[in-house]
Structures are given as structure tokens and as C-alpha cells.
Amino acid sequence: MAEAARLIWRQQLMEMILWEAGARTGADIEPVHQMRVSTRKARAAVSLFAAYFKPGAIRSHVKALRHTGRLLGAVRDRDVALLNLGKYAGNQPPEELKGLQAIARAWKSEQKAARKSLLAWLDSPAYQEFLADFDAFCRTPGAGVKDVTWQANQPLVPVQVRHILPAVMTQQYAAMRAY
């Protein structure tokens, strides 16, 4: 299970890196969205796989993913709000546009501040260290994995994907159906 987690995290890390250049420019809102989706997928995998790692083995990576996701979310929320405001304003009478323009200016100011915070993080040594450390962690089989050696008179603990995933998928499906 731990090695399956590494594969998932490595893929999401690569996705983050691929979308980063577009997220930096801000010319299009999609790269910020896709980079945020990658951080969310990586964090969602934590909930499935954290139990297979030693306490603290992934803590710093999860913290950096959470921080990156929050900064991306702040930019994304304002991007979407401005996009929706633009669509809404297109259907309003001219006398309403002045008030909507004031709202747009305020939201653009917030967006600019959010983007500035995001870029400061992406340019920081801490972010670069996170990328390097997380990549190394994802490429190092066995790093941080809990010891799962079987001992006599102890129940077997399933650790292979083929043993665990069917039950997890069924539980998740049941939860979705109940919703």
C-alpha cells in the first residue's frame, strides 16, 4: 500500500509541476485549477495511505501540500468569482454596471494579493525544498514505511493493494450511494 501511495503522489507531484508555469503567469485560469486539483488528489491519497507510514514520515509533505492548495484555492476562488461576475454583468442594465464594476475592482485587488502570495510561495526556498524532498520520498521505496513483519501468535495485517483495495472501494462506494 505504501508503494502504491508513492506512485500516486509522484504522479500528482508531476502534475503540479507541469501546471506550475501556467499558474505563475495567470494568463489562463485553468493551470491554477489543475495544479490545485493535483494537490487535492495527493492529499486525498493521504487519507487512504497514511496508516501504512510511520508517524511523522509524511507530515511535512502533507503540510506543504495543504499550504500550496490553500494559496492556489485563494487565487482560484477569485478567478471563478470574477468569471461569474463578468457573465452576470453581461445580462444587467447599464445602470447596474457601475456597482458591479466596483465589486470587480475590489475582487481584482484581492486576486492580485492572492496571486502575489502564491508566487511568493512558489519562488520560496521552502517550496523548492518541498518539491525536491517529496520527489525523493516518492522515488525511495520503503522510506518511512511502518514495519509490518509478522510475528507468531499475532493476526496477519493486510498490506498489499490486492488485499485492501477491494474493501476500501466497496466502503467508498457505499458511502457515496448513501449520500
Nearest to 47 by CA among 175, 163, 168, 173: 168
Residue 146 grid cell: 511502518
Instruction: In whole angstroms, give the CA distance from residue 135 to residue 129.
Output: 10
> What would the pLDDT profile of 117-165 be if each residue is shown by its tens digit?
999 999 999 999 999 999 999 999 999 998 877 777 888 777 788 888 8
Determine contact, residues 138/10, Cβ cutoff 8 Å.
Answer: yes
> What would the pLDDT profile of 1-33 be if each residue is shown by its tens digit?
899 999 999 999 999 999 999 999 999 999 999
Does residue 66 surpass a pLDDT of 90? yes
Determine contact, residues 75/115, Cβ cutoff 8 Å.
Answer: yes
The pLDDT > 90 percentage for the chain reads 74
> What would the pLDDT profile of 38-48 be if each residue is shown by its tens digit?
999 999 999 88
Q: pTM for the whole thing?
A: 0.86
Mean pLDDT, residues 92-114 taken together: 93
Instruction: In whole angstroms, give the CA distance from residue 39 to residue 20.
Output: 12
